[in-house]
Structure 1
Amino acid sequence: MWPTEYGDGKTMEAIDKMLTRLQTDYIDLLYVHQPVGDFVGAWRDMEKAVAMGKVRALGISNFDANDEVFGQIMTESRVKPAVLQIECHPYAQRLAMREKVKPYGIQVECWFPLGGAMSNGALLKDPTIMQIAEAHGKTPAQVILRWHVQEGFSVIPGASNPDYIKENIRIFDFELTDDDMAAIRSLNKEKRSLNATYEELEQMGKMPMRD
């Protein structure tokens, strides 16, 4: 749900339009995209959609903006978030946020798992990752995505190139060793590619939803 679709009644209307657009009777997992505006009102409608069978699970995206918004959604919600979607990769392993959601059993889902375009492929050129990739006969991207999977993350690499999509899915025929995993964990700098402030998230939320 984009912030322009947040609000009691407004969100339910947007969900119905989404179901029509997707030509389906239900949605497996529905997120609030960012914690701005009336996200609590949106959540209320999303909870109603769960009760009606239109949605099966709810998630929160970018609720790492500050402690207040995470605490608010956890306090205000009856249907608790099943998934938290945040930027996460070997250079920004988000250790504190992972610890915060652990008591709630919330699954961490990683966007920008390869660092994002604005990182200029820094992770793909990292010597440690390249060395591990060579040892396994895999690409750096495959090693990074395999690391995510073995860490227990849900991971969503964005790609439109068919070759990259095929490369990204071919990560289930090998396994990183304990030493490999430790080496990649040691790369953590908590250095994110997208460092939007809460105020910047608010401004983005006022823009029309992208198709």
Structure 2
Amino acid sequence: MNVPTLTLNNGVTMPALGLGVFQSPPEETAAAVAEALAIGYRLIDTAAAYHNEREVGEGIRRAGVGRDQVFIETKVWVSDYGYDETLHAFDKATSKLGVEQLDLLILHQPATDRFEKTIAAYQGLETLLRDGKVRAIGVSNFMPHHLAELLDGTQVVPAVNQVELHPYFTQPAVQAANAEHGVLTQAWSPIGGITFYPGWGEDRRSVMQDPTLRQIAGEHAKTAAQVMLRWHLQQGRSAIPKSTNPRRIAENFDVFGFTLTDDELARIDALDTGVRSGPDPDVPRPDRFAMVIPEA
């Protein structure tokens, strides 16, 4: 099965569906990545702050899939923001991953209380792009006003904005701003409710148990998770579901053999509650800068 691709605003193509490794224990990550690649995934999303880039690289090598066949995406953490710091963050990431070039490098969050460092970090990404060290650059968790401020101080429009997005939190204003500027929306927590973001809303109900999703899933002989992933793909988004369970990794990939109707897509859209599962990007969190990303 060839995964459908999305064309980024600089002409680079990216698989629409990938494997995310947020909260994947390092000791389980390599096996999960190798399993995903064996099944047919060709996009792997990681981050410096996940502390499993080395294991992602090991999983890619273990799978025996050619480097040119795997789209590797990772993120710069806020404690490495700044121009020179971001250039060095690239060196740290590629060393751990065991590659020379990244397909997509993005800023993990807007540092709202130190946005000048965010601008400088993105200017570092622009240099890496110009030098051919990365094929595309982007951002994560940027709200429309963050994106507007970034565009005012930089030259290259981000190719991707990775944000929390699932049926209970669809962020229509973010999606609209991304579309206006030609930025692809990529969903983290795309099946919201499998892995709750630590510290935010552990008492909330899981999207997986939603009656509407379960009804639509039953009509297609699919799971609620598969319906949610299909919803993302049909609406033109990239999705990066996370799992280390081989059965779920395979299940999350089995979303290309059915189509949701316009009515079903609208019913899923209507589930939006406007309530986040993760942290608000507008709330300053100085503690984030205390995390030191190790050299190796």
Cα distance between partner residues in 1 of 2:233 and 2:286:
32
Distance 2:281 2:83 in 1: 26
Q: Percent identity?
A: 37
Alignment check: 8 A CA contact 1:34 1:201 kept: no
Amino acid across the alignment from 1:100: A
2:219 aligned to 132, 135, 151, which one?
Answer: 135
- In 2, the alpha carbon distance for the partners of 1:80 and 1:28 equals 16
Query: How many pairs are equivalent?
Result: 209
1:102 match: secondary structure = helix
Q: Deviations over 1:75-115 (max 9, x none)?
A: 11112101111101111111111112222110000111111
Letter in 2 for 1:149: L
Aligned to 1:186: 270
Residues 124 and 102 of structure 1: CA distance in aligned 2, closer, same or farther (over 3 Å): same
2:139–2:158 contact (8 Å) kept in structure 1:
yes
Distance 1:205 1:146, change over 3 A: farther
2:119 is aligned to 40
The correspondence for 2:142, drawn from 45, 63, 66, is 63
Q: Which residue of 2 aligns with 1:151?
A: 235
| Structure 1: gaps spanning 5 or more residues | none
- The runs of 4+ residues in structure 1 deviating greater than 4 Å are none
Instruction: Tell me: CA distance 1:201–1:110, structure 2 relative to 1, closer, same or farther (3 Å).
Output: farther
Determine the C-alpha separation between the residues in 2 that align with 1:70 and 1:206.
25
Deviations 1:46-103 (A, max 9, x none): 1111111101111111112x72x32221111112101111101111111111112222
The one of 132, 141, 158 equivalent to 1:53 is 132
For the residue of structure 2 that corresponds to 1:17, the secondary structure is helix
Deviations 1:150-195 (A, max 9, x none): 1111111111111111111110011111221121111122222114
Maintained 8 Å contact 1:59/1:83: yes
Q: Which residue of 1 aligns with 2:95?
A: 20
TM-score (norm 2): 0.66
Q: In structure 2, what is the Cα distance between the partners aligned to 1:197 and 1:142?
A: 28
SS in 2 for 1:27: coil
Displacement of 1:206: 3.2
Output the TM-score relative to the length of structure 1.
0.91
- Give the Cα separation in 1 of the matches to 2:279 and 2:119: 24
Distance 2:85 2:93 in 1: 12
Check whether the contact 2:109–2:281 (CA below 8 A) recurs between aligned residues: no
Q: Distance in 2 between matches of 1:209 and 1:124?
A: 34
Q: Distance in 2 between matches of 1:138 and 1:78?
A: 44
Q: Tell me whether 95-104 or 131-140 shows the greater mean CA deviation.
A: 95-104
Q: CA deviation at 1:7?
A: 1.3
In the alignment, the residues of structure 1 paired with residue 283 and residue 262 of structure 2 have an alpha-carbon distance, to the nearest angstrom, of: 41
- Calculate the aligned-residue CA RMSD, in Å: 1.9
- Report 1:50-199 matches (<5 A): 50-64=129-143, 67=145, 69-116=146-193, 117-118=195-196, 122-196=206-280, 198-199=282-283
- Other structure's SS at 1:86 match: strand
Structure 2: unaligned runs, 5 residues or longer: 1-75, 197-201
